[in-house]
Amino acid sequence: MPQAALYGTPGIRRKHSIMIHDNMESAKKGAACPSQQKSANRQNEQEAMIRDTLAKITHKIFVLSGKGGVGKSSVAANLSSALAKKGYRTGLMDVDVHGPSIAQMLGVTDLLDITPDQQRILPKQVSENLVVVSVQALMQEKDQAIIWRGPAKTGMIQQFIGSVEWGNLDFLVIDAPPGTGDEPLTVVQNIPEALGVIVTTPQEVSLSDVRKSISFCKTVKLKTLGLVENMAGFCCPHCNEVIDLFKTGGGEKTAKEQGLTFLGSIPFDPQVVVSGDAGTPLMLEGKDTAFTRAFSGIVDNITKQLKI
């Protein structure tokens, strides 16, 4: 396992490295072997690139949840779209290696380009103020599965931060896979100033997983902007009655119990599915619906907290 994957991982201490020296003299001097020196140099170089990139991005927002399918990617896609629509230069980074949805949700179909000097990856320009990077946009085959172990995922995420030409951004929104595994951990280790937005649906099976995410945030000292409750109610288009598909109020109650800010509740809206499949998030379209009004409230709660 490369050292980079171990540094700073809670509960894991740095292991002693084993060195094989060419001769007794070098062993006595304790000189590093050339390949170890090279890899240390590469790591230092990458850390410097990550630092430089992050220095040019004002706010980093990390969308996460303990539960799959609760709408993290939809929230990340709509949040970045809403911020871009407001005029903020925004980047959206998909670190869900095994189930990347962001490329589809933002209509990114081409492979990512690289800079003319072949040194850096260029994010895809989706709208005037919105650029996107997803692992999907590195795959030749759309439906190809990615079978990677932890260190490879860590390396890819570090490259998505350090080797992407993000430029000067007001916001970088990061979409995570469900759970508390390698990907969220890598984001937190490399972007410790990121602020979490936790997504849940209102029913207890989702909330119990979300409490694990909240515990993860506390353990790794990831500050949070708050909790979003998604798919909270469905307004019947025929009779206008609101049906609570997954119960109601669970998100707000959990936020209160856990001492988190409740950012707001988003209704279930079949248009989210249609727009996600079509590649244009509702917040980019700018239509006035119950969903977009609720989502705008969440965006306002976030910008208010950031005092912008």
Residues near ligand ATP (CB under 6 A) are: 68-74, 96, 99, 101, 177-178, 230-231, 266, 268-269, 272-273, 276
Who's near 87: CB < 8 A, 6+ residues apart? 129
Q: Which does 269 bind (CB under 5 to 8 A by kind): ligand ATP, Mg ion, none?
A: ligand ATP
C-beta separation of 86 from 80 below 8 A: no
Query: In the complex with Mg ion, which residue's Cβ is closer, 101 or 134?
Result: 101
C-beta separation of 158 from 53 below 8 A: no
Residue 73 near Mg ion by CB under 5 A: yes
* DSSP letters spanning 63-103: EE-SSTTSSHHHHHHHHHHHHHHTT--EEEEE--SSS--HH
Query: In the complex with ligand ATP, which residue's Cβ is closer, 162 or 178?
Result: 178
223-229 and 130-134 strand pairing: unpaired
C-beta separation of 15 from 7 below 8 A: no
Stretch that binds Mg ion, among 58-66, 69-77, 131-139, 197-205 (CB under 5 A): 69-77
Smallest gap from residue 14 Cβ to Mg ion (A): 32
C-beta separation of 150 from 97 below 8 A: no
Smallest gap from residue 230 Cβ to Mg ion (A): 12
Who's near 307: CB < 8 A, 6+ residues apart? none
Smallest gap from residue 163 Cβ to ligand ATP (A): 24
Q: Which does 68 bind (CB under 5 to 8 A by kind): Mg ion, ligand ATP, none?
A: ligand ATP
Query: In the complex with Mg ion, which residue's Cβ is closer, 49 or 174?
Result: 174
Query: In the complex with Mg ion, which residue's Cβ is closer, 73 or 80?
Result: 73
CA-based R_g, the chain, Å: 21
Q: What angle do CA 130, 133, 134 make, to 5 degrees?
A: 135
Smallest gap from residue 296 Cβ to Mg ion (A): 22
3-state secondary structure of 282: helix
Query: In the complex with ligand ATP, which residue's Cβ is closer, 34 or 237?
Result: 237
What are the φ/ψ torsions at residue 265 (nearest 5 degrees)?
-115, 135
Sign of CA pseudo-dihedral 81, 276, 75, 142: negative
C-beta separation of 108 from 126 below 8 A: yes
What distance lies between CA 122 and its chain's CA centroid?
A: 18
Q: Which does 268 bind (CB under 5 to 8 A by kind): ligand ATP, Mg ion, none?
A: ligand ATP
Letters for 88-127 (x = contact with Mg ion by CB under 5 A, - = none) are: -------------x--------------------------
Residue 201 near Mg ion by CB under 5 A: no
Give CA–CA dist 212/141, Å, rounded. Answer: 34
Query: In the complex with ligand ATP, which residue's Cβ is closer, 263 or 272?
Result: 272
Smallest gap from residue 2 Cβ to ligand ATP (A): 26
Stretch that binds Mg ion, among 66-74, 136-144, 195-203, 228-236 (CB under 5 A): 66-74
Q: Which does 272 bind (CB under 5 to 8 A by kind): ligand ATP, Mg ion, none?
A: ligand ATP
Query: In the complex with Mg ion, which residue's Cβ is closer, 46 or 81?
Result: 81
Site residues, Mg ion (CB under 5 A): 72-73, 101
